Structure 1
């Protein structure tokens, strides 16, 4: 058993019994060091009293609450690295991250077992358990994973209250730990680095937290926040290197700087179904609820506002502050003028340069329309995809 830590050790109550706690033996806290159960020093061969033996066993027993913890399985056929968060207590800007050691199989053996990493809620400390083979590791993984999932359901109302107060979220649609693939100094062509990320999907946003939502402050200041309408769920794929149920889930986000991609590792098929269904349903519900979004842009060198409506499609209005006079029209200063309107059904195609220009090709008189957004038009493109997906789902074209 190993422990990677960048912070603390806690006093444990050995008399309290709970089925949501995990008891582990032969563990003593270490700071920024690894301790492997297989490397524990052998006890002396000299005869000792029974009382001394019992005291030693009691001292080396660690009880871990599984509340808001995360479990990660490293197979013997991969060299995955788990990257932990920097210590939040450090005042220095140059903090270091703690990483787990990849499994390295000796030349005399074709397998070196599997390791289960149990990450504590602040994602700064983890306990690692090495098993003799993948079968036992997989069995214990599912036992611990199910208990962690049950604990998460029990405290869901508490987390929903945090997000309602901190971010005015009406409802938490999905939440839980995933690991995101990251670039790390220890990453090579034969290894992958994964960082635990706690995702919270609300009715309007998807929030990335570096640790579990243990307080309102954590919910108030997530690491990343994306509008659900700016996200797109890419079709999941199975991790070809890992065995078992491990899958890869990609999330693409349209921002004013372009497209941002996040690749997550999902440990079980049930978790994969949970996240794909939750994101898809939340996206459709958000479109129906919001109905309309507005994007400032320029058309024919005049400042405009492009309205994207769930029912009416595209509508372009002149900006009341614009003083440009179009051919044959009076100056529109102080007035809002309808420039053109097109339903979704007339859109044949769209294209953009990922910098500032977007082209919409409509059937009929309007033809090709070129819009200048000033920044990357990807936010509009992703919103358009969300609206079209919601309309397709409404008429039964998608599940």
Structure 2
């Protein structure tokens, strides 16, 4: 089941100092909320204030000024802004001006490109009635409110001691929102084998990132990782089910997930890059971007028949660096992919899916024949899920030998083309059959695939354990 969860964590986005944020997890989205000061205006004036250009008429008193202070100007690449309104004086008494208003015109004179001093002089010489055209500049209201306690503003000679501001409230606003479909979570620094301490990052399908999310302790970290990966997995499962409704049984998708592929430093400045793995029908597909449309499957450049590949979970002694939970996929054509998952459970899930997909594909395939030579004669070596091994002589058009899979006791090869198969006989002896096959590696991987499928057919517990 999908999880809904929220809590406080610390964010390091690499641009600013680490800051506290609220993390909210829904079934399909991870949202980061940041606390901000937001100006709040009277509801009846809000739309007029924020969305419209307004005209405000100020009646200047003879013995006092306008009661207004200004900041900004063209010299600062800013409009001239109202930074202070003196309570009880002319500008404040209009009720139509706010701190953060940008002055666009003074008595019809355009000010949008005027300097600070030019606008001040226009206001001084405006007479007893001043008509201002203004538009509210919301970010300025927050900035000027924060700036207010620091002391008097020396930019304007029309200063007074008090001011009036829109009411400010602390509110949680969305900092970043990550859709979880086709997203992935990682604890590693990008492109490396360096594991972060009590921290993780979630990356969306379009490459947007949460930044590095730090948790207070390992228990909190594990809880967040479990909840987020559970929701990502649930969304992928739903996507697989939806896609399979449109696919024939032989082309059903069994598995999809992100991994990390180790690449040659000579070809890539980082040792690891994201790789999306899918098992579909009898194919293993490797994508740089997930297949979100039907045509993406057709355009996939890296596709191999699963039964012509060898999947291997690596032991600690076989790892190339500090990344754990790694495996290799080796193809019969000689290509080798070194992949890593973020957790052991993810790796076991991939391994289980691989053997299930292999069993399903071999059951549908039933048999596979390889061209070879035996005793110098052109022949066909057939692997059959029911019959086992059989060799067919092309010249005599007859079978020279047949062995059940259960009678195979071992094999050896020269790494090039020669393969020796050791079979037990009814008299407890061993018969050795040597063949030559130009496609030796693919033949060996297919033998392994058929043996695994046969074992699963004979012993259903084999697949249950995977």
**TM-score category, normalised to shorter length:** 0.5 to 0.7
Contact kept in structure 1, 2:32 and 2:210, CA below 8 Å? no
Residues 391/150 of structure 1: CA separation in 2 closer, same or farther (3 Å cut): closer
Residue matched to 1:67: 181
1:299 and 1:233, CA in 2 relative to 1: closer, same or farther beyond 3 A?
same
Name the CA distance, whole Å, in 2 between partners of 1:70 and 1:248.
16
Q: Cα–Cα, structure 1 residues 50 and 140, in superposed 2: closer, same or farther, change >3 Å?
A: farther
| RMSD over aligned Cα atoms | 3.9
1:255-280: CA deviation from partner (whole Å, max 9, x where unpaired): 133x73533224252x3443232222
If the length of structure 1 is used for normalisation, what is the TM-score? 0.65
Q: Distance in 2 between matches of 1:341 and 1:239?
A: 40
Sort the Cα spacing of 1:52 and 1:239 in 2 relative to 1 into closer, same or farther, 3 A. farther
Cα drift, residue 238 of structure 1: 7.1
Whether 1:262 aligns to 2:343 is: no
For the pair 1:116 / 2:200, whether they are aligned, the reply is: yes
Say if 2:398 is the partner of 1:354.
Answer: no
Q: Aligned residue for 1:177? A: 258
Distance 1:378 1:47 in 2: 76
Q: Could you tell me how far 1:236 is from its partner in structure 2?
A: 5.8
**C-alpha displacement at 1:225, in angstroms?**
1.6
Which residue is 1:40 aligned to? Answer: none
Structure 1 residue 294: deviation in Å? 0.8
Q: Which has the larger share of strand?
A: 2
Is the contact between residue 234 and residue 252 of structure 1 (CA under 8 Å) also seen in structure 2?
A: yes
> What are the equivalent positions in structure 2 for 1:301-312 lying under 5 Å apart?
301-312=376-387
CA displacement at 1:127 relative to structure 2 = 3.3
Q: Distance in 1 between matches of 2:216 and 2:262?
A: 25
- 2:280 match: 202
Larger Rg: 2
Structure 1 residue 214 and structure 2 residue 278: aligned? no
Answering whether residue 432 of structure 2 is matched by residue 368 of structure 1, we say yes
Name the CA distance, whole Å, in 2 between partners of 1:303 and 1:121.
51
CA drift at 1:119: 1.8
Structure 1 residue 2 displacement after superposition = 6.3
Q: 1:343 to 1:227 in 2, by over 3 A?
A: same
Alignment map for 1:95-244 (pairs within 5 Å)? 113-122=197-206, 124-131=207-214, 133=216, 135=218, 136-160=220-244, 164=247, 169-184=250-265, 193-235=271-313
* Superposition TM-score, scaled by structure 2 size: 0.57
> 2:147 corresponds to which residue?
46
SS at match of 2:147: coil
Q: 2:363, 2:201 → 1: CA distance?
A: 41
Aligned position for 1:14? none
Q: State whether structure 2 residue 190 is matched by structure 1 residue 82.
A: yes
Secondary structure of the residue that 2:205 maps to in structure 1? coil
Cα deviation 1:299-358 (Å, max 9, x = unaligned): 223322111111212212233xxxxxxxxxxxx3xx633333333343332111222221
Superposed displacement of residue 388, structure 1: 1.9
**Residue 381 (structure 1) aligned to one of 421, 435, 444:** 444
Cα shift readout 1:169-226 (whole Å, capped 9, x = no counterpart)? 53111222222333336999xxx94322222112312211111221222221224222
Q: Is the 8 A contact 2:176 2:210 kept in 1?
A: no
SS of alignment partner, residue 82 of structure 1: coil
Contact 2:411 2:420 survives alignment (8 Å): yes
Question: How far apart are the structure 1 equivalents of 2:354 and 2:215?
Answer: 38
What SS is found at the alignment partner of 1:367? strand
The secondary structure found in structure 2 opposite 1:155 is: helix
Residue segments in structure 1 that go unaligned for 5+ positions in a row:
5-16, 28-42, 75-80, 84-99, 104-111, 320-331
What is the CA-CA distance between 1:295 and the residue it aligns to?
A: 0.7
Matched residue pairs, number? 312
Preserved contact between residue 287 and residue 387 of structure 1 (Cα < 8 Å): yes
Q: How does 1:8-23 map to 2 (within 5 A)?
A: 19-23=27-31
Residue 50 of structure 1: how far off its partner (Å):
5.8
Structure 2, unpaired ranges of 5+: 1-10, 15-24, 36-142, 150-164
2:405 and 2:283 map into 1 onto residues whose CA distance is: 25
How far, CA to CA, are the matches of 2:289 and 2:147 in structure 1? 46
